[in-house]
Structure 1
Amino acid sequence: MTNKDITNIEDIKLLVDTFYSNVRKDELIGSIFDEKIGDRWPEHLEKMYRFWQTVLLDEHTYSGSPFPPHKQLPVEKEHFTRWMEIFTNTVDSLFAGPLAEEAKLRGQNMAEMFNHKIEYFRHEAKHPLL
């Protein structure tokens, strides 16, 4: 059976719930998420539903800046690589089509941008201009 593409909020919820279930079980990044999010998982998942609904379905339900909560996380390139592996595997296991491919592309772009920005802010903290 061929997977269908991402088409509605139920698909987004399935993607997000499955992805974060996989993340929480992961030895490398699971504890980072659990420590940061704590008992606020329902709130985090709701925010992620709105974020991906806005990004993939062009239904503007998310507002805010996704980067600031990640700025101080104790993560390196290997953590973003693992995040992307889990995300790609999750998308591929559930969906196939243009929006599924778009989700993976957006995820990759976000992982790379967050990694670069975190590295930049760490460097700036060690070497301020003034």
Structure 2
Amino acid sequence: MNHVLRSAEERRREIQLNADRMGIDDAYISDLIETFYARVRADETLGPIFNAEIGDNWGPHLARMKDFWASVAMNAGRYNGKPVPAHTKLTGVDPSDFQIWLGLFRQTLEDTAPNVEVVYYFMERAERIARSLQMAMFGLPTLPRA
């Protein structure tokens, strides 16, 4: 098997071109995040969790999430937060809340994405991120939490 080594800049450019080809840009990510977090705030399970942590300070959170998803989807390099500590400090979160979050995210993608490829592209990343955060917060499902 012939492996071609690419520089970080070549990989970054490939991701950016692929995102552009799918119709993913800052305007789409802004629409996705605004729509999704409006639904999160209205959700009977997730709304209270987010509102307890964020309160009336949604503007900075939305801006941070737009940078986060632009970095995830387009390799924009604008996010420099620490999501694991931000999530592990939360109280009142149940492992099943991640499925609610993913379901809302998928529905928002299906309602807003320019095409089905974008739904799959974001969901692959969202599921990986959710698994990572869930593991950080609750440990492996078959092992007791330390």
TMscore range, shorter length? 0.7 to 0.9
| 2:124 counterpart of 1:105 | yes
Task: Give structure 1 regions of 4+ aligned residues with deviation exceeding 4 angstroms.
Answer: none
Deviation at 1:55, TM superposition (A): 0.7
For structure 2, which runs of at least 5 residues remain unmatched after alignment? Answer: 1-21
Instruction: Give the TM-score, by structure 1 length.
Output: 0.85
In 1, the alpha carbon distance for the partners of 2:116 and 2:137 equals 32
Deviations 1:36-88 (A, max 9, x none): 11121000000001000111012111112211110022211211110000000
Size of the aligned set, in residue pairs, is 120
Larger Rg belongs to: 2
Percent sequence identity over aligned pairs: 29
Deviation at 1:107, TM superposition (A): 0.8
Once superposed, what is the RMSD of the aligned Cα atoms? Answer: 1.8
In 1, the alpha carbon distance for the partners of 2:32 and 2:42 equals 16
Q: 1:77 aligns with which of 67, 81, 95?
A: 95
Equivalent residue, structure 1, for 2:145: 123
Higher relative contact order at CA 8 Å, sep ≥6: structure 1 or structure 2? Answer: 1
In 2, the alpha carbon distance for the partners of 1:50 and 1:92 equals 21
In 2, the alpha carbon distance for the partners of 1:58 and 1:97 equals 20
Q: 2:52 aligns with which of 28, 35, 44?
A: 35
Instruction: Give the TM-score, by structure 2 length.
Output: 0.76
For structure 1, which runs of at least 5 residues remain unmatched after alignment? Answer: 125-130
Deviation at 1:6, TM superposition (A): 4.2
